[in-house]
Amino acid sequence: MPGHLCIAEAAHFFYELCYTYCMRLNKYIASAGICSRRKADELIANGNVKINGTVIREMGAQVGEGDVVSVNGRILKHDTAKVYVAVNKPLGYITSMSDDKDRATVADLVADIPERLFPVGRLDYNTTGLLLMTNDGDLAHTLTHPGHEVNKTYIATVSGVVSNARLAKLRKGVDIGGFVTSPAQVRVLKQNPHSAVVEISIHEGKNRQVRRMFAAVGNKVQSLERVAIGDIRLGRLLQGHYRKLTRSEIDYLKSL
């Protein structure tokens, strides 16, 4: 009928309208730079999120144009510039934005950055080295998703001798307690009489995985430093300091 949309055209128009103006709630929170999508799901489940003043606990809830979303009473805005930094985490810092035991957190290391950044993945309390931090929730979700196999490279000082037989086990995959690791890339950089310095690359992120892998072959980790995430390297960045990622580094991460 002239001047009116046919059913197919109307359906297409409605789809385009929803695509343009609707966004899943957890993605909306992440893209506002509050946290990752996974953490956003926790906030939703705990009743910390409201849309237009109403508490929302539905994971699949959609945010439309004009909706006001708040997290813990804070209204979200999407005009915050995206920031991407590499941090050299020292010993004794936890990979969290806050701590109820009043321990130092990685948030303290970027306190002078106006935007609220959150860590991409984790580093153990006793592990030092490269940690990425950003307010880009979509990128954080991509990099930490189990389906994305991004290599993380560590330098470990371990006790004892790392024999060829032990290297072979690590390269094949070892049982770290109910979980068999994927093959690791590993080489001895220096063998001392009672310890060794080893470079190891893995793409999984189980809790204390590198320490558990070496323990499984008979070597105890004495110190552990992450020196690279994919092609992003720690380089000469001093402990406790950060640097902004270059445009090429950001593009590389987004291409993964």
Q: What stretches of 174-220 adopt beta strand conformation (E)?
A: 185-191, 195-202
Running DSSP on this structure, what letter comes out for residue 116? -
Q: Is 124 among the catalytic positions?
A: yes
| Joined tokens for residue 82 | 């995206």
Number of CB atoms found within 10 A of residue 191's CB: 14
> Residue 180, SS3?
strand
Rg (CA), the chain: 22
Query: Can you give the pLDDT at residue 180?
Result: 97
Catalytic residue among 99, 124, 136, 231, which? Answer: 124
| Joined tokens for residue 247 | 């445009």
Q: Which of 141, 131, 51, 46 is nearest to 85 (CA)?
A: 131
Decide if 44 contacts 60 (C-beta within 8 A). Answer: no
Of the CA atoms within 13 Å of residue 23, those in its CB half-sphere come to: 19
In this structure, the strands spanning 69-71 and 128-134 are unpaired
Domains of the chain, each with CATH number or no CATH: 7-75 (3.10.290.10), 84-146+236-255 (3.30.70.580), 152-229 (3.30.70.1560)
| Joined tokens for residue 75 | 């209204």
Exposure b/e, 217-230, CB count within 10 A at least 16 = b? bebebeebbbbbbb
Amino acid identity, position 148: H
Query: Can you give the pLDDT at residue 102?
Result: 85
Query: Can you give the pLDDT at residue 79?
Result: 62
DSSP H or E segment with residue 216: helix 209-216
Q: d(Cα 200, Cα 75) in Å, to the nearest integer?
A: 43
pTM of the model: 0.74
Q: d(Cα 131, Cα 120) in Å, to the nearest integer?
A: 7
Terminal Cα distance for the chain, rounded? 48
Directed axis angle between helix 137-144 and helix 37-45, to 10°? 100
Q: Bin 60: left if φ > 0, else alpha if -120 < ψ < 50, else beta.
A: alpha
Q: H helices within 72-187, ranges in order?
A: 137-144, 164-172
Place of tokens 């080295």: 129
Decide if 211 contacts 177 (C-beta within 8 A). Answer: no
pLDDT string in tens for the chain (256-residue length)? 333 434 443 343 333 334 334 788 988 888 787 788 888 899 999 999 999 999 999 988 988 877 889 999 988 876 668 899 999 999 999 998 888 888 899 999 999 998 889 899 889 999 999 999 998 888 888 888 777 789 999 999 999 999 999 999 999 999 999 899 999 999 999 999 999 999 999 999 899 999 999 999 999 999 999 999 999 999 999 999 999 999 999 999 999 8
